[in-house]
Amino acid sequence: MRRPKSIHIPIQWLSDGLYTLYLFTKADYHTLFFPILIFACVAGPVRSPYHFFAAVAWTWLHLLQCNISNQYRSITEDAGNKPWRPLPAGRITPDQASKLHAVVTLLCLLASAPSGWEMVLVSITLTVTTILYDNLRMSAHWAKRVVCVVTGYGIFEYGATKVIAGSVPLDNIAWAAIASSLIVIATTAHVGDFPDVEGDKQDGRWTIPIAFPKSSRVITPVLIMFWSIAMAVQWELGLFNAVSLVLMGALVAYRNLALREWSSDKRTYVLHSIWLLTIHLLPMNARWNSLCY
């Protein structure tokens, strides 16, 4: 039976709108959304189902806010690297994206308010960081980009962990988890810039792979191996888990060093995200002694 036109049109509009929102965040589910939530579950830990779903909503809204801002300012880059995104695909206009960003920014503040003024300030700080990254083009230079990326990740990790833990203060395990995660992100997150070199050049960005095309291919694998070993030691992993982490890091390091085609760099970035996700899980051993074998 055909739906009445008056019902079909709103449903189609809602479906298209939700899919557009999904496309804004599509590229970051495996790099940020799920790693942050898993990290928060371990570092928090989860106080209740309500706090878990509150953290899901808080993280997704703030991710959407950052992505709309970023993609609104990088349509040219995305046309080359990710043409399926809403703006280069023509699903939404720049003016509509600007208005949507304002609405989502307000929703982020409202989502933070139940956790107190401290979390509202956290949300505001992320907004400021996003402005610096996108509007003031700090993303265009690798050193400024690192500062913004670390600050942004730190806000996501701290914010999601605070929401998921409720009124329980963060303990030493949580703070150590945040610190160790951020130093790994600061020194290896640029793995995601290798497959985007061509688009970044067109957009006038000076990322690490562009600024240091040869040395970055050598230093990055060394850093990945170093952090694989260092994280295994810091979190006192058992032999099996320590070897598994180091082997995973070795695979990412080898691919980054030896396999330099665009398709290979894309695959390496996915594997790097899995490796980084694994590092986010390591505080489990300090929390529950669950990785001691």
pLDDT of residue 266: 93
Q: Provide CB contacts within 8 A for 62, sequence distance 6+.
A: 108, 111, 123, 126, 155, 156, 159
Q: What residue type is 244 in one-letter code?
A: S
Distance CA 133, CA 291 (A): 37
pLDDT value at 1 more than 50:
no
Decide which of 10 and 112 is more confident. Answer: 112
Q: What residue type is 271 in one-letter code?
A: L
Q: Provide CB contacts within 8 A for 129, sequence distance 6+.
A: 148, 151, 152, 155
Q: Quick check: pTM over 0.75?
A: yes
pLDDT value at 284 more than 80:
yes
In the chain, where are the structural domains located?
A: 23-170, 171-293
> Over the stretch 207-250, which tens digit does the pLDDT of each residue have?
999 999 999 999 999 999 999 999 999 999 999 999 999 999 99
Distance CA 157, CA 142 (A): 22
> Over the stretch 111-151, which tens digit does the pLDDT of each residue have?
999 988 999 999 999 999 999 988 888 888 999 999 999 99
CATH topology of domain 23-170: Tetracycline Repressor; domain 2 (1.10.357)
R_g of the chain computed on alpha carbons: 20
Decide which of 8 and 62 is more confident. Answer: 62
pLDDT of residue 82: 81
| Averaged pLDDT score across all residues of the chain | 91
> Over the stretch 152-181, which tens digit does the pLDDT of each residue have?
999 999 999 999 998 889 999 999 999 999
Distance CA 67, CA 105 (A): 11
Angle at 193 between CA 192 and CA 197, to 5 degrees: 140
